[in-house]
Structure 1
Amino acid sequence: MSSKSALSVVALLVVAVLLVAAPMVRERYPRAWWYAVSFPILWVRIRFTWRQLAWECDLAVTRKRAHAMIGGILVKGKELDPVVPRLHVGWPRPFSVTMRARMLPGQTPDEFVDAAEAMSHAWRVHSVRVSSPARGEVEFTISARDPLANITAPGALARRKHHGRPWFGVSVSAELEETPGAADAAKLLRVFVGLLEDGSPWVLDLRLLPHWLITGATQSGKSTLMNAAVVELAPRPVALVGIDLKGGMELGNYTARLSALATDRPAAVRLLGHLVDVVLERTVQCRVAQVRSIWDLPEQIRPVPIVVLVDELAELYLATDPKGKADALACSTNLVRLAQLGATLGVHLLVAGQRVGSDLGPGVTMLRAQLGGRICHRVTDPETVKMTLGDKFPDAVIAAQSIGPLERGVAITTTNEGGWMRARSANIGAEQAQRITTDYAHQRVWLPGLSDFDRPGGKTS
């Protein structure tokens, strides 16, 4: 056998081994495969198709070339001279990459949004999200695969005890912390609940967005999201207070960890009224200490943060008799006061509901204005989507309405950076949440006045 034939045989063997081993390596080490193989291929594909793609999707700007004089004769230049925006590809992240392009004169971000679907097909990726972070620029977030397809891991602290190594870590070193209290707030109030569409952790940061409105129809994933948030908060020195006017059917799973639970409207009136009194007492405490936040107080006298969980907001407002209407108005007023005053005083709201509309009463619109964080799962009426997202991100309304019945846990959420994104919460069922919160029952915070509520029935003792 000649040396050339031997080299051919060796080459064929190497190719065969690679063809057999490649699927195994890709399945076992997906992240390494992405960085070593998939991303370079995607980068080449983008570079070689961008000009033609921009031309076909009307993202190119045509201009006339200057006329030229040849031998004293005016010669008209080429009529079409297409110019396409120049792409700048950023560093890849796990299974995603971000690109930026500077728009040409006359272009708007809407033109690039309309072309996003064509880009995802041309580049053979799962999705392309287009946003405009600065004037004159568009940003493409390219997801090579659906990061929300399978989310089974619960939050960081719950995994630490029940499932081994934590999936997400809490890190505050990357942020500028001015005081020790700010660092403590970062550890306590950053709640990891799932994944964002770009593959990064989905964080409800109660420091940046102190209050959240969560909407979603039955079986849309709203309760799963609440489970994920409570499981994350259960091991922390935080008081959890529940209001569930469906007889405690949802929040009753967390009874062992709750400092108080109201399951009827009169109990909710008393509970919310007491929370308002707590907030007013904290304002006096901060004023005497000459600080503007409880996190600026010394740790020895700093009051514990309180997270108020409200399930089914509509039940607070729907009333037929005069007494019920008066209680509903009191609940609405106190919720608005808590939202207005509680941000720097350690009181935070997670308000959930199947339907939220202006027809429930004027207090709903007033309360929504104070809830800066918004999460919208699949809903059954357009009014709820508009109430949740329409006032902040009108373009997110269409994305929320496209969530299908089989996409449980998928939601449109506001992000800490000021935009919106698709996300999916960790898959934590009611039984798992009940087991974990029971394990952390010793962390239940006793608060004077609040802990006097009989948690299962919502009555005062």
Structure 2
Amino acid sequence: MAGGQIVSLIGLVLIVVGLVVLRWRRPAWYWIGFGSLVALIRIRTSFRSVMEACGLTEPPSRSRLWIAAATHREPVRMMAGIRRVRITRSGLVLRLRMRPGQELQDFEVATERLRHSWRMHGVHIRALKPGYLEVRLIGYDVLRKVVMPGKPGAGLLRVPVALRADGSAHLRDFRATPHELVVGATESGKSVYLRGLIKGLAPQRVALVGIDCKWGVELAPFARRLSALAVTPEEAAALLDALVEEMTGRFELVCAAQNLPPDAPLDAITSDIWGLPEDIRPVPLVLFVDEIAELFLLTSKADEKRRDHLVTQLIRLAQLGRAAGMYLEICGQRFGSELGPGATSLRAQLTGRIAHRVNDEGSAKMALGDVSPRAVGVVTAIAPTRPGTAVAALPTGGFARIRAPFVSLPEAAAACAKHAHMTPDLPALDAFRPVPAPAGALVELAPEPA
């Protein structure tokens, strides 16, 4: 073999090895530079055969039948047409125009066949407008190493907390979904999700309140940014009473604003705090409850009355808090009717649902069984080697697999300390204001596993 051929062969081997390493270490770079072109050629050359194999074609129209008969040709079945192709950092986005007789469900049931036919990691379908749909093809496992999009759409009470399996950011929007239930077993990533949410809310003009009956081990590091913190069931009961009183005051403020003169403009009428003038509008408040089961547990018969009162106040906040700008984030390993009276009523008010890896199918059903039966199977299939992976119920219906980026406890605590000046002054909660440890007393914590 000539020396030039050997050099060319070595160069080719190095290129192949480089592409393999790039695909593993930097999948987004590999996809944009090489993988997207290969996938685009594969889709263009096999589109008709794949549509026919997946049953996504329709019989030809009468005019086509007439033309085929006149030209002595076999009539061709009609299929959806590609109107636009867009390359993203995670895959391809196809805009298709459906043929008469087709519907969105026809394509949704064929997603697995399309994924294998085009050798993609995932296929996601959504409707755009009548006759058009979007097919999002994912070229690699975007949840293996989470990289959040550059412009996730953050804003007041909107926090990008995770990445969806389709490559888009998952936003925790408190205005759209006021209350949320987050469940997950130990080491499933539930605490990391909570830290990311607190870190995203810390720089916003929002009051953060915590109930952590595990003696504050989860929420106490964020004391510099918390307006109130309760670490025992007794303190939690008193804090919830103060929050209900605060909610009552906000409703009285809204009612006072509704007593308008006859010549007041229609846009001055409001039924929640967001319609109030900005100078008198109360600051929004987010209540974090870590390990909700601790509030339901009884150590003696005497605790039953306290537990019932505590749960009643929680349900009251969940039912009425949205209009007062008060939102709930309820976390726990399990949450269901077995906790005791009031648990099912409270869960019914928590429209947002996040389910991490769980230890039993009953926990998955409790969180997402009323959202989608398919979501239950997805939750139980989450591997222990993928902490932070979860299934989220979507405000638009359905569900999506998500994974939160890793946020260490020191990182979240540092964000809270940096934005401690953003903590609003709420006189009704002054008695529960936590006293943070002196800066010199803080111990540098070792990074935790993702």
> How do residues 62-141 of structure 1 correspond to structure 2 at under 5 angstroms?
84-99=79-94, 112-131=107-126, 139-141=134-136
Q: Which residue identity is paired with 1:420?
A: F
Q: 1:151 aligns with which of 139, 146, 153?
A: 146
Give the aligned CA root-mean-square deviation in angstroms.
Answer: 3.8
The structure-2 alpha-carbon separation of the partners of 1:366 and 1:39, relative to structure 1 and needing over 3 Å to count, comes to same
Render the CA deviation track for 1:54-74: whole Å, top value 9, x for unaligned.
44444456799989xx9xxxx
How much does 1:106 deviate?
7.9
The structure-2 alpha-carbon separation of the partners of 1:22 and 1:369, relative to structure 1 and needing over 3 Å to count, comes to same
The structure-2 alpha-carbon separation of the partners of 1:101 and 1:317, relative to structure 1 and needing over 3 Å to count, comes to farther
Check conservation: 1:252, 1:456, Cα contact below 8 A: no
The DSSP-based 3-state class of the residue aligned with 2:411 is helix
The DSSP-based 3-state class of the residue aligned with 1:141 is strand
In structure 1, C-alpha distance between the alignment counterparts of 2:18 and 2:300, rounded to whole Å: 69
In structure 2, C-alpha distance between the alignment counterparts of 1:170 and 1:107, rounded to whole Å: 33
> How do residues 11-30 of structure 1 correspond to structure 2 at under 5 angstroms?
19=15, 23=19
Render the CA deviation track for 1:84-119: whole Å, top value 9, x for unaligned.
544555433322233355677887766644543332
User: Who is 2:280 aligned against?
Assistant: 301
User: Who is 1:432 aligned against?
Assistant: 411
In structure 2, C-alpha distance between the alignment counterparts of 1:220 and 1:393, rounded to whole Å: 21
Check conservation: 1:25, 1:33, Cα contact below 8 A: no
**1:410 equivalent in alignment to 2:407:** no
Q: 2:227 aligns with which of 259, 265, 268?
A: 259
User: Who is 1:401 aligned against?
Assistant: 380
The DSSP-based 3-state class of the residue aligned with 1:188 is coil
Check conservation: 1:117, 1:128, Cα contact below 8 A: yes
- Which stretch of the first structure deviates more once superposed, 200-209 or 411-420? 411-420
Render the CA deviation track for 1:286-319: whole Å, top value 9, x for unaligned.
1212232322222222211111001111222222
How much does 1:249 deviate?
1.9
Structure-1-length-normalised TM-score: 0.77
The structure-2 alpha-carbon separation of the partners of 1:431 and 1:31, relative to structure 1 and needing over 3 Å to count, comes to closer
User: Who is 2:363 aligned against?
Assistant: 384
Q: Which residue identity is paired with 1:220?
A: S
The structure-2 alpha-carbon separation of the partners of 1:320 and 1:143, relative to structure 1 and needing over 3 Å to count, comes to same
Check conservation: 2:124, 2:166, Cα contact below 8 A: no
The structure-2 alpha-carbon separation of the partners of 1:283 and 1:60, relative to structure 1 and needing over 3 Å to count, comes to same
User: Who is 2:399 aligned against?
Assistant: 420
**1:368 equivalent in alignment to 2:347:** yes
Q: Which residue identity is paired with 2:201?
A: L
In structure 2, C-alpha distance between the alignment counterparts of 1:93 and 1:418, rounded to whole Å: 25
> How do residues 3-18 of structure 1 correspond to structure 2 at under 5 angstroms?
none
How much does 1:394 deviate?
2.8
In structure 2, C-alpha distance between the alignment counterparts of 1:20 and 1:142, rounded to whole Å: 24
Render the CA deviation track for 1:221-276: whole Å, top value 9, x for unaligned.
10000000111111222111111122212112212221111111121111111111
- Which stretch of the first structure deviates more once superposed, 444-453 or 301-310? 444-453
Identity of aligned residues (%): 38
Render the CA deviation track for 1:341-400: whole Å, top value 9, x for unaligned.
221321111111111122223522222222222111111122222222222233322222
The DSSP-based 3-state class of the residue aligned with 1:289 is helix
User: Who is 1:44 aligned against?
Assistant: 41
Q: 1:318 aligns with which of 292, 297, 301?
A: 297
Q: 1:452 aligns with which of 407, 418, 431?
A: 431
Q: Which residue identity is paired with 1:338?
A: L
Structure-2-length-normalised TM-score: 0.79
Q: Which residue identity is paired with 1:369?
A: A
Check conservation: 1:168, 1:192, Cα contact below 8 A: no
In structure 1, C-alpha distance between the alignment counterparts of 2:433 and 2:207, rounded to whole Å: 16
In structure 2, C-alpha distance between the alignment counterparts of 1:18 and 1:289, rounded to whole Å: 72
Which residues of structure 1 form unaligned runs of 5+? 1-8, 71-76, 154-166, 172-185
**1:292 equivalent in alignment to 2:261:** no
In structure 2, C-alpha distance between the alignment counterparts of 1:369 and 1:203, rounded to whole Å: 21
Which residues of structure 2 form unaligned runs of 5+? 259-269, 437-450
Q: Which residue identity is paired with 1:266?
A: E
Q: 1:442 aligns with which of 417, 421, 442?
A: 421
Number of residues of Structure 1 aligned to a counterpart in Structure 2: 413
Q: Which residue identity is paired with 1:241?
A: V
